[in-house]
Each structure stands twice: as C-alpha cells, then as structure tokens.
Chain A
Amino acid sequence: MVFKGGVNLFDAYKIRFCNIVEEISSDTPPEVFNFTLPSEQSVKHIIVTLCPTEPWALPNWVTLGHKTTVFLDKIKELQSTLFPEAKCSVVIINNETEHISAAKEYAGMNEWLEVFVIDAKYPYDDPVVLSKAILNKDINFGQDTLSQGILVFDAQTALAIHKSRILNKSVNSRFIALSGTGLKENEFIKVQLGTTLEKILKNRVKETAPYRVFINGPLRGMEIKDFAQKIDWTVNDIVVLAAQDKKVMFPMINTDRLHFTTNLLGELRACVYCNFCDDICPVNLEPALYYHCYNKGEKQKVRSYDLEKCIECGLCSFACPSKIELLRIIKECKLPDEQKS
C-alpha cells in the first residue's frame, strides 16, 4: 500500500456486496425527511458528489441505477427552480467510467454544469477538500462550506430534495450499505427512517465473536453502543467489525483473521519519525509535530502548526506504525482551553 496524500482504500479493503437491495420497514410510523435548504441568495455554487471514496460507502449505482442522464435532468430541475443563480458541479470518482462519459457528454450540451473527475482516494470526497480542489477556494479546514456559498450534497440527498421540493412527495426511506467482518453478508438495504439499529442488525450479525458497530465508516464515523438508536438521514453506511480483542497466533500468516477488524495490528511504541503520517496526510500537515508538542504539554504551540487545516480524516492514526492516537491528540488540541475537562 503506498501512502501519499490520501490512500486508495478500495485496494486495501476489497468489499463485495450482494447485488439485491432488501427493504426494511420501521415498526413505528416512519419519520419524514425534511431538508432545511439555505436561502437562494446564499448559495453560489452547488457541488453534487458522486464520489464515495470509502469501499464501505454506498456506491452510485444503488441510488442512480445506471441512469446518469435522468439524474442530471433532475439536478437541472433542482438548480433552475431552487438556486437559479448558482453554478453546479458534479464530481465523479475515476473508477466509474460509465457515469463519467455520460456526464461529460451531458455537460457538453449544458453550460450550467461542470464535471470533475477525482482519484479514488480517501478522503478526496471531503467537502472542504473538494471546494479547494474544484473551486480553488481557500476555505479554512473544518469551516462550514456553506458560509462560503458552497452547497455540497451527495446523490441520494439530491434525489430526496428533488422528490420532496419539486415533486412534492414525502421521503421516508433511504439506501444504506451494510458491510464488515462482523456480518454474515455485505448488502444494501432500503430502510424507513426511524428504524432501530437493532432491527437492521438482527439475524445479520455473526453472533459467534464480539463485534462493534460503526455508523458512516470506521475511519470518520461514530461507534454505536446503544442499538435502540434510530436511523436518520445522515446514516450512509453501517459497518460491523469483528472486535478481535484476543491475541492471534502467527499474525504474519493469519492476516485474514486480523484484516478489517478493530485490532490495533501492533503495539504502542514511541514515535520513530518515520514520516508515514505526513506522507499520507491529504492536506500536507505534519502530525508527528503535534504528538511531540502535546507530550511536552505545549498545546498552545500545537495550534501554531496549521492545526486548523486538519480535516480530521484520521489517516495519520491509521498509518502510524507506532499506533499513536494522533487524531485524538488533534481533536483535544483543537478544543479551546476552557472547554477541556
């Protein structure tokens, strides 16, 4: 695996999904999706992201089918009705050649649309990274892109806004990708909003070994301990990983047992300045400096090393061979002094 300014997770984690989309309904009346759109004047640019850079995220074909032109027609309708002044860009990941050629052909005939192709590297789909790459806007990392007049949304949200605002129909379900080593099978599901996690995971999880559940991926997402939690619109994918909290014999040959689990895959050691963290950093920071300043108790100094640029993608902690919790240090140092407990 070569780490240089982001990482191609598709190569590292090959996840095969079952092609059938199963529908799951809620026990309670489903919640209705309600997207609060910003005012017409505040949006100068719309970016539609067809670029999931994580292998466990929902791929485009589930939401779009293979009908790129139909989707782009809907985007056109959305743009002309809701934000007539705004320009629109569609960003597509470079392994989706079918969508790229269709969208480029469409953009050739429609001036309001621009098509961008990005590498299948995590975290190139981050709103801040995208705004910087596409619009060359120098947005401070971590800042809301909307404050700069840039509205970023994914394919599924775009379709939902179209359905609710243009067609005036209610949206109460969404597609979710279910994957991970803790599951019997990787699959896509269509869930009614408000369904509990417990209902989704029932009969799908391998009960033989301990597992952990993450919403929106194990890199940037949250760990969920309370399975009574309900699914809302922000849930794109659910990843269930084997915890693998026991020692595995001969890890060199039994790599399949440790791969894609929550195991640290190594022991905590001192930083050896190996440059893995700054090589992999997509925004060109030097995370090891934060670690050393933090260890000396100089949190103020940490902030002077462009800390605000960090997009918290977690790749520095991911790549660290000494297994240092760099992202935790970064998050802690970002908090203002008085909030620290």
Chain B
Amino acid sequence: MKKLLNKFEPPLNKNLDRIESFIHTHGAVNFLFGAIFGAFDGLLRSSKHTAQTQPFIRSNMDTKKFMGAVLIALAIGWVFPAMYFYGLQCVISKLIVSLVVGVFAVDVIWAIIAREDHISEGGFVSCLLVPAILPPQAPLWLIGLGAAMAIIFRNILGGVGHNLVNPALFSRLFLTICFPALLATGYQMPFAGIPDLHTLRYGLDTITHATPLSEFKADGTITSYFSLLIGTANGSLGETCRLALILSGIWLVKMKVANWRLPVSYFGSVFLFSGMFCLLSKENVAPPLFQLLSGGLVLGAFFMITDPITATYNQKAKWIYGIGCGFITVLLRNYTTLSEGAMYAILLMNLLAIPIQSLMVKIRYRT
C-alpha cells in the first residue's frame, strides 16, 4: 500500500504544487476555489509551515486528527450499527445528503462569501451527528435542512471554536420547533436477526413504534435493558445501539479527545438524581438504569457534552457542567410533558457553561 502510494507521490505532488501556485497567483480563482483546494490539499498533504518561535518541535496531534478521531468513533458508534438495524439505504442516503448539503454546499459557499481561507474540519462531525439525532424515517429534505442549519448557525457565530451551543443539537431544536409532527413520529423498529438482502437494504421499513421513553410516559412500560443496550429497541437513528456507542466513547476518552470527567459526571448524576427521585415517587419516575440506557443519553454523554468548545474549559467546572446536564435531564424527563430531555439539558448547559467557567476562574485566581 505504502509502496503503491509512494509511486504516485512525485507526479501528484508536482501537479498539486502547480495548481496551488496557479490558484495563488490568480486572485479571482483564489477567491472562488482557494478554500476548497486548501481543504482537499490538507487531506492529502501535510502543512509546509515551520515553527518560528520556541518550542521548535511540535506534537503530531492536530485539529484534523482530533476531528478524525471523533469521526471514527461516530462511524463505529452509530453508522455501522445503524446500517445493520435500519438498512444500508436509509443510513447511506442520509449521510450523503447531510455531508453534501452541510459541508460541500453550505460550508463551501460560506467560505467563498465570507472570504475565509479554509474550510473547517468540524463540519464533518456536525453533519455526521445530524442524522443520528433524527428519527430513522425522517425525510431526506429534513436531514438536509438540519445539516444546513447546523453549519449556518455555527458559521454565523464565527466558526469552529466560537460556537456557543452544539450546532447539531441547535439544528435539531430548530427542526423540533418547525416540524414537531415529523420529529414525533417515524421511529422505525430496528431489524434483529440474520439479515437477508431486503432487510440489509431497507430494514423493517413499515413498522413504527413509540420510543421506550414515550412508552414509559404513556403507560409505565419499561423496555428490557438488554434490548436497549444492544439496539433492538427503537429510537433516533444513531442512539439505539448503546453498546457500540459506549465502546467507541471509551476509546475517545482513552485517546483524550473526550474528557472523561464529562461522561462520568453526566452518567453519575443521572443515575443519582433519578435514583433519588425514584425513591420519592415511584410511579412517575423511571428507574435509574432505564434512564441511563434510554433515549439519546449515551450518545449525548460521549459525543455531545464532550464537545470541548461548548463545555467549560476549567477541569473542575466540567464536573459542575456534567452534573448540571444530568440534573436537568432527569427533571425534564420526569416532571415535564417531554419524554426526552437530554437535548434541552445539553443546550441549556452549553449556555450556562459560560457563567460557570468565569465563576470558577474567579474563584481559582481570586480576581
């Protein structure tokens, strides 16, 4: 493989150099295609910049690898399991729409209009998360709209590094407000068993069912923990196979891309608070383990609240942030008409992260 690539290397490198110098010498071409070429070139070649100030050597971890690790974890955590449970056609078409609309249309057009010199890698993560948090039977235009909203919203706030709240969750909030009916239905039953050609392609495309959380809200039914864990209970496209999500999440934590304090505090606080409330009023509140394994909590704990930009920077404040997320999730799930509260809890804590951060900094440095 390496030998084969090295064979192509000199002519490819030479041509890319030529294209690069052509783009940089022609203002109009640079204006239109500079950022796109930069993004494409960035995937194939390393940077040519060298360290000009101390230290003169740098670690090989960069933003591309950082985002790449999240993408790998997302692929293992939800894309592959969803392909099995809901069929290839459902997942692949949604991913294509989301990535094409989000990254290759909105982000590229934004880079041209706003005259930005690069296209950020973070867009891929947001666009991979958008289909994961929508129902499996959500129409493709809804996915496209969601991806577009996520990227536009993030870019309006200044791009990666400046977004106040998680763009994927913000787009889901936007879609929930605009199309409540579409988001309340379409929770297709996942396929289980040995797949044949039809199920591999389409899944069990006709059967929809209430999600475990709304079922509990309606008549107190508790879905089996085992089916919740392996993904045979229904839910949003990417949240059902909790086992894969937990494994890929643990890998992310091990790679230090996700901070371990956030999932630990989130899971811990949901378990603790739901246990407490469960003891106080047994009939209204779901048992702790059911709360942990249902809804988008596992996906949220490993992929949403661990988004470093929207979480607090201070390590101690991360505990408060995670516990706050858990507390609000339990409150919303059990004492409001909403069946799932993880999204609202994370969005609210994204905003509260700013005062928590400044408070912790003030306490630490006594300023």
Within 8 A of A (CB), among B134-174: 158-162
Within 8 A of B (CB), among A1-38: 1-3, 12
Mark contacts of A242-253 with chain B using CB atoms, 8 A cut-off: 1 yes-contact digit, 0 otherwise.
Answer: 011111111101
Give the docked Cα–Cα distance between A104 and B337 (Å): 70
- Is the CB of A264 closer than 8 A to any CB of chain B? yes
Contact of B55 with A274 in the complex, beta carbons under 8 Å: no
| Number of A-B residue pairs at CB separation under 8 A | 176
Q: Is the interface of A mostly helix, strand, loop or mixed?
A: loop
Provide the residues of chain B in CB contact with A244, threshold 8 Å. Answer: 50
Say which residue of A214, A255, A319 sits within 8 Å of B59 (CB atoms). A319
Give the docked Cα–Cα distance between A128 and B17 (Å): 48
Within 8 A of A (CB), among B4-57: 5, 9, 12-13, 16-17, 41-42, 44-51, 53-57
Contact of A218 with B57 in the complex, beta carbons under 8 Å: yes
Provide the residues of chain B in CB contact with A305, threshold 8 Å. Answer: 361, 365, 367
Contact of B58 with A318 in the complex, beta carbons under 8 Å: yes
Mark contacts of A72-83 with chain B using CB atoms, 8 A cut-off: 1 yes-contact digit, 0 otherwise.
Answer: 000000000000
Contact of A289 with B361 in the complex, beta carbons under 8 Å: yes
Mark contacts of A318-339 with chain B using CB atoms, 8 A cut-off: 1 yes-contact digit, 0 otherwise.
Answer: 1111110101100000000000
- Is the CB of B206 closer than 8 A to any CB of chain A? no
Query: Which of B59, B66, B257 has most chain A Cβ within 10 Å?
Result: B59
- Is the CB of A259 closer than 8 A to any CB of chain B? yes
Give the docked Cα–Cα distance between A319 and B65 (Å): 13
Given known A247-B48, A275-B308, contact A327–B62 (CB-CB < 8 A): no
Contact of A245 with B48 in the complex, beta carbons under 8 Å: yes
Q: Is the interface of B mostly helix, strand, loop or mixed?
A: loop
Contact of B54 with A265 in the complex, beta carbons under 8 Å: no
- Is the CB of A263 closer than 8 A to any CB of chain B? yes
Give the docked Cα–Cα distance between A267 and B49 (Å): 8
Report the contact-size class of chain A (Cβ under 8 Å from the partner): 35 or more
- Is the CB of B64 closer than 8 A to any CB of chain A? yes
Given known A248-B45, A266-B64, contact A273–B50 (CB-CB < 8 A): no
Say which residue of A259, A267, A289, A312 sits within 8 Å of B62 (CB atoms). A267
- Is the CB of A39 closer than 8 A to any CB of chain B? no
Residue of B nearest to A255 (CB): B60
Contact of B308 with A258 in the complex, beta carbons under 8 Å: no
Contact of B5 with A243 in the complex, beta carbons under 8 Å: no
Give the docked Cα–Cα distance between A312 and B42 (Å): 31
Given known A250-B5, A305-B361, contact A266–B47 (CB-CB < 8 A): yes
Contact of B308 with A306 in the complex, beta carbons under 8 Å: no
Give the docked Cα–Cα distance between A312 and B48 (Å): 26
Instruction: Give the segment of B77-85, B87-95, B191-199, B311-319 that binds chain A.
Output: B311-319
Contact of A264 with B44 in the complex, beta carbons under 8 Å: no
Given known A264-B49, A274-B308, contact A250–B162 (CB-CB < 8 A): no
Give the docked Cα–Cα distance between A39 and B314 (Å): 45
Within 8 A of B (CB), among A259-284: 259-276, 278-279
Provide the residues of chain B in CB contact with A218, threshold 8 Å. Answer: 55-57
Mark contacts of A179-193 with chain B using CB atoms, 8 A cut-off: 1 yes-contact digit, 0 otherwise.
Answer: 000000000000000
Provide the residues of chain A in CB contact with B1, threshold 8 Å. Answer: 253
Contact of B311 with A262 in the complex, beta carbons under 8 Å: no
Residue of A nearest to B62 (CB): A266
Q: Which chain A residues have a beta carbon within 8 Å of chain B's beta carbons? A: 1-3, 12, 212, 214, 218-221, 223, 241, 243-251, 253, 255, 258-276, 278-279, 286, 288-289, 301, 304-306, 312, 314-315, 317-323, 325, 327-328
Can you report 21 residue pairs joining A to B where beta carbons are below 8 Å apart?
A219-B54, A219-B56, A245-B48, A245-B50, A249-B12, A251-B45, A262-B56, A265-B46, A265-B60, A266-B63, A267-B47, A272-B308, A272-B309, A275-B259, A275-B308, A301-B367, A304-B367, A321-B61, A321-B63, A322-B63, A327-B54
Q: Which chain B residues have a beta carbon within 8 Å of chain A's beta carbons? A: 1-2, 5, 9, 12-13, 16-17, 41-42, 44-51, 53-66, 118, 120, 122, 158-162, 256-257, 259, 308-309, 311, 313-315, 361, 365, 367
